Structure 1
Amino acid sequence: MEEGPGEPFLMDIEDVFRRNQGRVVMLTGRIGRGRVRKGDEVAIVGFGGGAIVTVGDIEACRRYIDEASTGMNVGLLMRGVAAGAVERGQVLAAPGSISEHTRFAADIALLSEEHGAAEVRTGDRLQFHIRTAVVTGDVTLTRETDVLHPLHRGDVTITLERPVALEDGQSFAFRHLGRAAGSGVVTLVLG
């Protein structure tokens, strides 16, 4: 992904490590867009996060650097992050650039039966993989459709159990009955 001018920083949190008896936290992940510098303030978004924290140090390839940008896998060291305040599935972002939501409209496509898809009906509980977050949610089909069959696509509304960082146009995958079932794209964030 090319970095465009003025793109706000966004990084998916893949892992959380505690150092120095828990006083320092390293958040690792890949920067999806923008850039971050030592000393920048970033927001923790998703799962009811919302805290603003300051980047203490940036680690890449086992050395400290002053700045990191799109496509880099890094560790961001933060001081003063409360235990349990951050976890895999959340994102770090420029404050105010992205928000968390539990409800959205989407266009989904089911895999074939041979690849694990099963029929999807209103009320089915699916497991959604959005960025690095894994969260359960309920599906509501459009009124014209009673059931989606394998290899079909359709418009749905999804209500998640926990809020995650969402944007229009964001892709995701989902599992049904414990098996990979399909993928989708957020068409409209609802709430």
Structure 2
Amino acid sequence: MEATGKPFLMHIGDLFWRNQVRAVMLTGLIERGRVHKGDSVEIVGFGGTALVAVEEIEASRRYVDEASAGMNVGLLIRGTAAGAVERGQVLAAPGSISGHTRFAADITLLSEEHGATEVRTGERLHFHFGTAVVAGDVTLTGGLDVLHPLHRGDVTIMLERPVPLEEGQSFALRHRGRAAGSGHVMHILN
């Protein structure tokens, strides 16, 4: 399940239950790596993990034996209860990524004209990681009281649900219902 040294990772964009075969088709863009029919993959995020086998791979309306980074695919899996998998989780090589709720980040706010407003410690923002959207509280670090539009700052973020995270991963953020900026995970804190 590796290509170019990076383990397989796909953000789950949508899912379709197939009652006639008691399975679920998980769709999304393969971010990195490669997956083969029959491979074991791990569902990670939102507080749960499950190891499942890829029974079929559908790409461009046909079944294939393998898929790699950059391909939009559907992966058919069995053995997952309804509600155990949802949009925003990831499929990954077993043990290659885990869910976290607390991390240090470097964020940059947009201009006021593009929707950003001041951000203060304790404010609740919405963070977008791949297909996951999770609310969280921000704490400004380095002696900052307020982060102004068009400025950059180091923060600590506490999410309400565990999300698959890696150092260097980028994310977007929304504040008061509007696009506010972007950031990068610097360190995982839990």
TM-score range, shorter chain: over 0.9
- 8 Å Cα contact 2:106/2:186 also seen in 1: yes
Shift of residue 4, structure 1, vs aligned partner: 4.7
Aligned residues: 189
| Aligned residue number for residue 63 of structure 1 | 62
The answer to whether residue 87 in structure 2 is matched with residue 112 in structure 1 is: no
| Aligned residue number for residue 121 of structure 2 | 122
For residues 35-87 of structure 1, what are the alpha-carbon distances to aligned partners after superposition, in whole Å with 9 as ceiling and x for unaligned? 00011000000001210000000000110000001110000001121100100
Q: Distance in 1 between the 2:38 and 2:118 partners?
A: 50
Q: Which blocks of at least 5 consecutive residues in structure 1 are unaligned?
A: none
Q: Distance in 2 between the 1:108 and 1:13 partners?
A: 25
| Aligned residue number for residue 42 of structure 2 | 43
- Under a length normalisation based on structure 2, what TM-score does the superposition of the two structures give? 0.97
| Aligned residue number for residue 184 of structure 2 | 185
Q: Distance in 2 between the 1:159 and 1:173 partners?
A: 15
Q: Give the secondary structure class of the aligned counterpart of 1:144.
A: coil
Q: Give the secondary structure class of the aligned counterpart of 1:108.
A: strand
| Aligned residue number for residue 73 of structure 2 | 74
Q: Of Structure 1 and Structure 2, which has the larger fraction of its residues in strand?
A: 2
| Aligned residue number for residue 9 of structure 1 | 8
Q: Give the secondary structure class of the aligned counterpart of 1:55.
A: strand
Q: Distance in 2 between the 1:143 and 1:93 partners?
A: 35
Q: Which blocks of at least 5 consecutive residues in structure 2 are unaligned?
A: none
Q: Distance in 1 between the 2:178 and 2:18 partners?
A: 36
Q: Distance in 1 between the 2:20 and 2:172 partners?
A: 37
| Aligned residue number for residue 92 of structure 2 | 93
Q: Give the secondary structure class of the aligned counterpart of 1:76.
A: strand
- Under a length normalisation based on structure 1, what TM-score does the superposition of the two structures give? 0.96
Q: Give the secondary structure class of the aligned counterpart of 2:52.
A: strand
Q: Distance in 2 between the 1:7 and 1:113 partners?
A: 38
Mean CA deviation greater in 4-13 or 144-153:
4-13
Q: Distance in 1 between the 2:174 and 2:81 partners?
A: 32
Shift of residue 143, structure 1, vs aligned partner: 4.2
Q: Distance in 1 between the 2:132 and 2:108 partners?
A: 20
Q: Distance in 1 between the 2:26 and 2:78 partners?
A: 11
- Root-mean-square deviation (Å): 1.2
Shift of residue 5, structure 1, vs aligned partner: 3.2
Structure 2 counterpart of 1:186, one-letter code: V
Shift of residue 21, structure 1, vs aligned partner: 4.8
Runs of 4+ that moved beyond 6 A: none
| Aligned residue number for residue 172 of structure 1 | 171
Q: Give the secondary structure class of the aligned counterpart of 2:113.
A: helix
Shift of residue 22, structure 1, vs aligned partner: 7.3
Q: Distance in 2 between the 1:170 and 1:61 partners?
A: 28
Percent of matched pairs sharing the same residue: 76
Q: Give the secondary structure class of the aligned counterpart of 1:114.
A: helix
Structure 2 counterpart of 1:115, one-letter code: H
Shift of residue 12, structure 1, vs aligned partner: 0.5
Q: Distance in 2 between the 1:5 and 1:118 partners?
A: 40
Q: Distance in 1 between the 2:6 and 2:60 partners?
A: 24
Residues 22/149 of structure 1: CA separation in 2 closer, same or farther (3 Å cut): farther
Task: Output aligned runs, 1:135-154, within 5 Å.
Answer: 135-154=134-153
